[in-house]
Amino acid sequence: MDGARTNGANRQKTPSKGHFCRSKPLQFSVDLSIGKAYSRQAREPPRFRFENCSDSIRTVETMSKPEEKKRAITFTIPLTGYPRTMRFNRFAVEEMDNYRVFHCAYIGKQGLLCDLFSFSMANEDVAVNRLNILSYLDRMAEVPDFEPEAWAIPVTTRNVESVRIMSSSHSGNNAEIVLATFSLSGFLALGSSDAETKQPIQAQPLAMLTCETGLQKHVLTTIFIDDES
């Protein structure tokens, strides 16, 4: 397929057992004063600033006018309720203009395509998650580098989920990538209302993908490091 980078999965050395590691949550910051003007008058879209935080995905308002009250909205990553759970051993990237499409597949020993899941992330959303994922990759230094097999994206009709949030964890040689999202329109509407929002809001769960730890490291490196070059 034109414009696609393809990657797959080989057996890799098993990391030490009993080790557990997860990516830190993100802090989402938005200037809601701009957001309100944008939603009413179609002006400049809201600007985001993203940082690591300790316990949740947090969206904090940073007002352009110092005298305006600041408010915080917190998103949590769902523990359960994922409509799609899947193990994969192949991975490919399809390059678009302002976003990329990622394909995860499970190929059986006889070469049969058993399952396929595709999702997209806008370049902005990749940048949003980058600091968090790079911090996680720094803690995966003991995981061996991964040499993928070649894999061609199959020509077939499929759904493509739109992802805003990516979180990762691993224990031994079992790794997980969690995908979730939230509505920017809903967030701006909530931020512009007068109601206090003290309780965390759960992000919408999309998919929980599992694979070997070496493949997870390769996937995250492909998405968040190779993209910078």
Using CA atoms of 184, 186, 187, 190 in order, give the dihedral in degrees to the nearest 10: 160
Note down pLDDT in tens along the chain; length 229 residues.
444 555 544 544 444 444 567 766 554 544 444 433 333 333 344 344 433 333 344 444 443 444 455 556 677 888 999 999 999 999 999 999 999 999 999 999 999 999 999 999 999 999 988 988 999 999 998 898 887 788 889 888 889 999 999 999 999 999 999 999 988 888 777 766 666 666 778 899 999 999 999 999 999 999 999 766 5
pLDDT at residue 2, rounded to an integer:
46
pTM: 0.73
User: Is 176 in contact with 115 (CB distance < 8 Å)?
Assistant: no
Q: Return the residue matching tokens 């003007």.
A: 37
User: Is 64 in contact with 36 (CB distance < 8 Å)?
Assistant: no
pLDDT at residue 6, rounded to an integer:
52
CA end-to-end distance (rounded Å), the chain: 22
Q: Return the residue matching tokens 């070496």.
A: 214
User: Is 224 in contact with 123 (CB distance < 8 Å)?
Assistant: no
Beta-bridge mates of residue 59: 28, 73
- 10 Å CB burial of residue 20 (0-12, 13-18, 19+) is exposed
- Kindly state the helix (H) or strand (E) to which residue 43 belongs, with its residue range: none
**Alpha-carbon Rg for the chain in angstroms:** 19
- Output the CA torsion sign for 126, 166, 94, 222: positive
